[in-house]
C-alpha cells in the first residue's frame, strides 16, 4: 500500500510503499477514504511528542470502510463505514478503565503514535474502538474524530452552566466546537493570532459573538476559556479574562511552559484543568450531538503524497479550519 510515514523525529514524512497491514484478533482492516490532519501529528513529526517505534504512519482521524478482519461483526461488519480516533486500545482492567476514565489508562495505545494510523491506503483498528459514522462526505466527517471530539470533551469539562465561552486558537477543534456551543445556546468569543483576519472572519461566520486577538481581553468576562493553541503564555491571559468561578481548560496534548502569574488571577475560585485524550463514550455522545446540531467542517484538502506539505501549512497557519488528506476518491 501507499503511505506517508515518519522515519525520524524532526524529519519530513516519507511517502512510499509499505507492507499491507494484517488485522489481528478483534481487529478490522479498513480501506481509508480520508484522514484529517491534527496538530498532534505535527507534534509527533517535530519530535515534541515521541512516536513509539518508527517508521510510524501518522494520522488518527480516519474515515473508511471495513473490508476484512477477525473483528468484523463485533461490533462492526464488513462494509460498515467507521471512524478511527486517537484512542486505539485500553486495558479494560485498571482503575481508570473500570471507572469510566479509559482516556487515562496507563497502558493505552494511541492511533498514529503507538500503532500505525491513517496516512495510508489501508489501516487496521480494534473493532471495539471504531465509531459508527453518520452519513456524509468523508472529508467533512474526518475532522470530527479528534478536533471535534477533543473540543466536545473540553466543552463538557468546562462545566454545565457556562454561558460565555472563549476559544483560544481558532483552528480545527475550535471551529467545530464553536458550532456545537452555539447550537447549545452559548455565546462564543474567538481569540485568534493578531492579524489572522481569515480565522476571525470564519469565527464570526460560524456564530461567534466576538473575534479578536488573543492578547486582548474579551468585551465581557468569560465563564470558561478553552485553549487549543500550544502556547502556555495564553493560560494567564485566559485566567484574567474569566469571571469569578470560571475555568480555563487546556485542550492540547502538548503545550509550552506556563509562565508564572499572580495569585489574584486565580482568586475567586477560578480553576485550571487539562483534557487528556478521549473515551469511546465521548465519541458516541459527540456523534449523537452532531445529528441534532448541524456542524459544518471547513476544510482544505491534500493528496496523500502531500502529507508533509499539509503539516507545513498547519505549522505556518496557511489555512483556516481543518486539513484533510483525501486517500480514496469517491
Mean pLDDT per 10-residue interval, the chain, length 330 residues: 97 97 96 97 96 96 97 92 98 98 98 98 98 94 96 95 96 96 97 94 97 95 97 97 98 95 97 96 95 94 98 95 88
CATH topology of domain 2-144+278-326: Quinone Oxidoreductase; Chain A, domain 1 (3.90.180)
CATH 3.40.50.2300 given to domain 148-274: no
Q: DSSP code of 256?
A: P
pLDDT at residue number 328: 86
User: What per-residue confidence (pLDDT) applies to 329?
Assistant: 61
Among candidate residues 219, 214, 215, 156, the one with its CA nearest the CA of residue 187: 219
Q: Do the beta carbons of residue 61 and residue 118 sit within 8 Å?
A: yes
Q: What's the pLDDT at 94?
A: 98
Where do the domains of the chain lie? 2-144+278-326, 148-274
Residue 318, all three cell numbers: 496557511
Q: Is 1 exposed, middle or buried (0-12, 13-18, 19+ CB in 10 A)?
A: middle
pTM given for the model: 0.94
CB 166 within 8 A of CB 234: no
Euclidean distance between CA atoms 119 and 157, whole angstroms: 30
- Specify the pLDDT at position 74: 80
If 0-12 CB within 10 Å is exposed, 13-18 middle and 19+ buried, where does residue 311 land?
A: buried
At residue 68, the pLDDT reads: 96
Amino acid at each position: 500500500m501507499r503511505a506517508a510515514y515518519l522515519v525520524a523525529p524532526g524529519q519530513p514524512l516519507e511517502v512510499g510503499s509499505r507492507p499491507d497491514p494484517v488485522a489481528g484478533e478483534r481487529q478490522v482492516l479498513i480501506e481509508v477514504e480520508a484522514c484529517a490532519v491534527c496538530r498532534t501529528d505535527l507534534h509527533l513529526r517535530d519530535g515534541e511528542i515521541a512516536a513509539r517505534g518508527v517508521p510510524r504512519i501518522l494520522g488518527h482521524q480516519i474515515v473508511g470502510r471495513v473490508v476484512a478482519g477477525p473483528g468484523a461483526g463485533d461490533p462492526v461488519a464488513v462494509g460498515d463505514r467507521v471512524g478511527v480516533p486517537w484512542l486505539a486500545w485500553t486495558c479494560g482492567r485498571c482503575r481508570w478503565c473500570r471507572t469510566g476514565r479509559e482516556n487515562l489508562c496507563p497502558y493505552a495505545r494511541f492511533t498514529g503514535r503507538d500503532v500505525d494510523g491513517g496516512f495510508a491506503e489501508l489501516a487496521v483498528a480494534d473493532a471495539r474502538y471504531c465509531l459508527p459514522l453518520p452519513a456524509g462526505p468523508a472529508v467533512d466527517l474526518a475532522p470530527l474524530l479528534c478536533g471535534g471530539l477533543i473540543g466536545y470533551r473540553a466543552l463538557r469539562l468546562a462545566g454545565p452552566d457556562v454561558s460565555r465561552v472563549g476559544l483560544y486558537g481558532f483552528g480545527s477543534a475550535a471551529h467545530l466546537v464553536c458550532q456545537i456551543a452555539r447550537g447549545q445556546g452559548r455565546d462564543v468569543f474567538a481569540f485568534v493570532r493578531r492579524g489572522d483576519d481569515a480565522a476571525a472572519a470564519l469565527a464570526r461566520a460560524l456564530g461567534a459573538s466576538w473575534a479578536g486577538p488573543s492578547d486582548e481581553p474579551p468585551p465581557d468576562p468569560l465563564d470558561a476559556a478553552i485553549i487549543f493553541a500550544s502556547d502556555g503564555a495564553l493560560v494567564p491571559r485566559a485566567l484574567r479574562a474569566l469571571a469569578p468561578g470560571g475555568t480555563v481548560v487546556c485542550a492540547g496534548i502538548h503545550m509550552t511552559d506556563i509562565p508564572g502569574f499572580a495569585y489574584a488571577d486565580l482568586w475567586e475560585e477560578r480553576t485550571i484543568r487539562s483534557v487528556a485524550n478521549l473515551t469511546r463514550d465521548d465519541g458516541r455522545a459527540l456523534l449523537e450531538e452532531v445529528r441534532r446540531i448541524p456542524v459544518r467542517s471547513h476544510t482544505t484538502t491534500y493528496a496523500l503524497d502531500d502529507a508533509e506539505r499539509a503539516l507545513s501549512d498547519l505549522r505556518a497557519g496557511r489555512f483556516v479550519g481543518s486539513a484533510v488528506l483525501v486517500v480514496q476518491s469517491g
